[in-house]
Chain A
Amino acid sequence: MVHAEQVWKSFGKLDVLKGIDITVQPQKTFVLLGPSGGGKSTILRCINHLEKIDAGRLWVDGELMGYRQKGDVLHEMRTKDVARQRSKIGMVFQRFNLFPHRTALENVMEAPVYVKHQPRAEAEREAIALLAQVGLSDKLDSYPAQLSGGQQQRVAIARALAMKPKVMLFDEPTSALDPELVGEVLDVMKKLAETGMTMVVVTHEIGFAREVADGVALIDGGVVVESGPPNEVLVNPTQERTKLFLSKVLS
């Protein structure tokens, strides 16, 4: 579903990603772990083309992201076509990024109505169902400022799901939350994984990785240090870097 081959990304002289290879199978949850500044979030942002990659190739659902290949030549896609590609990829941000001037329900309805041109009544029905799914049936008409961080993040998940994406990206979805609110968001994500959604998750929650992930990768210094099933990488890591990281996170 998501396939990255030798992806490079630099910001000026700083190489943030130095040849990333990742494959995420459909209906699987893939967790990216690693220290801050290692390039985990940049990988997610490259997957939905919020950042342009400088070398390598990146496919989502069999489509090359952001470019069209004709023979050996790559052509930049027009923004309209990039937007169409992005609508198949849901993204959840660390800082929620809900639209503050719209209620929870309006946040969820926004893209189906204005991007997919779905009839309003139908979009509203689906949005109400999605908000029920994340346990917020009683907050439909609340503005983001009236919700707790955990509630806001659950609205953000419902908003991303409203576009019926093929893959969901989570960029440290619980890092901005008070500790007692982390659980409610992880529960929603766990349920989502059980329904067979393809998910790529950047997180520091090792417990979530161990319990939910089908595959994990440790990213540091812009490279994949180690990857594999969680009960190998997290239990019997082969790389010193992985051991060091796990000992710091788990202590």
Chain B
Amino acid sequence: MEGAALSAPVAHEPGERPRLIRAVPIRHWGRWVSAAVLLFLAVALAWSLAHNPNVGWATIGQYLFKPLTLHGVLVTIEMTIIAMAIGIAGGTIIAVMRLSDNPILRTVSWIYIWLFRGVPLLVQIIFWGFLGALYPNLFLGIPFVGLVFGHANTSALIGAFTAAILALGLNEVAYSAELVRAGIISVEAGQTEAAQSLGMSGGLTMRRVVLPQAMRVIIPPMGNETITMLKMTSLVSVISGHDLLTTVQQVYAQNFRQIPLLIVASIWYLALTTVLTIGQHYLEKHFGRGFGQADAGGAERKALKRVTRNG
């Protein structure tokens, strides 16, 4: 066949597809060699891990699905979800405030971001953990007037879990706000004008026109934030937050099997990150509709839905 490719193009009928070119592809020898070297190194590493008694495969197997570990995984998932929910909701509000033409809202949001982005997260976590040392009691009421609806002991009200959520969530608000703001300003000004010319108010324009388009830009870095958050929950081990890392730390504090237990934690963190990555893919697909690759299937589905609804 290689000989055929060398011969001159054969005349063909008009409208008929010509004979396609069949050339010898470029041989990428370098790729084969590097793949072989890397494969060798990977096998060597796997062999050394499999035969290293310090890894403690038996211990890993023993602790991977222990109820104690699973509880830690659950707390980590819970913290990630709640903190990110606070972060995204609050971040959207702060971002809209920063872009508002109300100078008071702009200043408040600027100060918020300045404060929570400026203090290290670890410090914030410890700070919330020790809130009781600053305000031993919390009141709900109107200050200076003496009207009190209720009060509680700070340490009783804000336990390690709540302190961790507050620290992670409020910190995330500041970072999410900047991501959402980037998304909002990426939407063409013509979109806002078109919405306004249809009589839409500012809030409606934001909700129906700008934010859905901003999502396309926001989701990839927000996926990043969520994965970072999943791992940052491990910082709350400093205030004994009962998350995955804290749990395995407590175990190896007693049995001194640090490496196997850290591998157990790593396996779970990797597994959760993988799930998040898959979820992000589907979110991107949803908010990317109307952009790039035309979704002809979606159009047909919508037409069919309408026809069946209207009979």
Q: Which residues of A contact B (CB under 8 A)?
A: 48, 50, 79-80, 83-84, 86-91, 93, 95, 97-103, 110-111, 114-115, 124, 140-146, 156, 159-160, 163
Contact = CB atoms under 8 A, between A and B. Distances in A.
Interface in B256-311: 287, 289-292, 294-296, 298-300, 302-303, 306
Given A115-B199, A146-B299, A102 B194 contact: no
Contact of B212 (A101, A145, A146): A101
Given A103-B302, A142-B299, A50 B290 contact: no
A114 B208 contact: yes
Contacts of B200: 83, 111, 114-115
Interface string B229-266: 00000000000000000000000000000000000000
Contacts of B208: 110, 114
A91 B197 contact: yes
Nearest to B295: A143
Interface string B163-204: 000000000000000000000000010110111111111101
B85 interface: no
B198 A110 contact: yes
Given A103-B302, A143-B289, A145-B290, A111 B295 contact: no
B290 A84 contact: no
A98 B287 CA distance: 16
B198 A146 contact: no
A161 B58 CA distance: 72
A87 B290 contact: no
A145 B196 contact: no
A232 to B, nearest CB: 32
Contacts of B64: none
B209 interface: yes
B76 interface: no
Contacts of A91: 194, 197
Nearest to B304: A141
A141 B302 contact: yes
B290 A141 contact: no
Contacts of A87: 198-199
Given A79-B201, A114-B200, A115-B199, A99 B194 contact: yes
A102 B213 CA distance: 10
Given A91-B197, A97-B190, A141-B302, 9 more contacts: A88-B199, A99-B195, A100-B291, A103-B290, A114-B200, A141-B303, A145-B290, A146-B296, A163-B198
A56 to B, nearest CB: 21
29 contacts: A50-B193, A50-B196, A79-B201, A79-B202, A80-B201, A83-B199, A83-B200, A83-B201, A84-B199, A86-B198, A87-B199, A95-B190, A99-B209, A99-B213, A101-B287, A101-B289, A102-B290, A103-B290, A103-B299, A114-B200, A114-B208, A115-B198, A124-B306, A141-B300, A141-B306, A142-B299, A145-B292, A145-B294, A159-B198
B308 to A, nearest CB: 14
Contacts of A141: 298-300, 302-303, 306
Contacts of A100: 213, 290-291
Nearest to A87: B199
A250 B197 CA distance: 33
B213 A101 contact: yes
B204 A114 contact: yes
A99 B193 CA distance: 11
Contacts of A114: 200, 204, 208
B199 A145 contact: no
B147 to A, nearest CB: 35
A90 B198 CA distance: 7
A101 B290 contact: yes
Contacts of B287: 101
Contacts of B303: 140-141
A48 B197 contact: yes
Nearest to B193: A50
A117 to B, nearest CB: 11
Q: Which 4 A-B pairs have the closest CB atoms?
A: A87-B199, A97-B194, A91-B197, A111-B198
Contacts of A90: 197
A110 B300 CA distance: 20
Contacts of A159: 198
A97 B193 contact: yes
A97 B299 contact: no
Nearest to B288: A101
Nearest to A101: B290
A143 B196 contact: no
A100 to B, nearest CB: 5
A144 B199 contact: no
A140 B188 CA distance: 24
Given A50-B193, A101-B213, A163 B290 contact: no
Contacts of B188: 97
Contacts of A102: 290
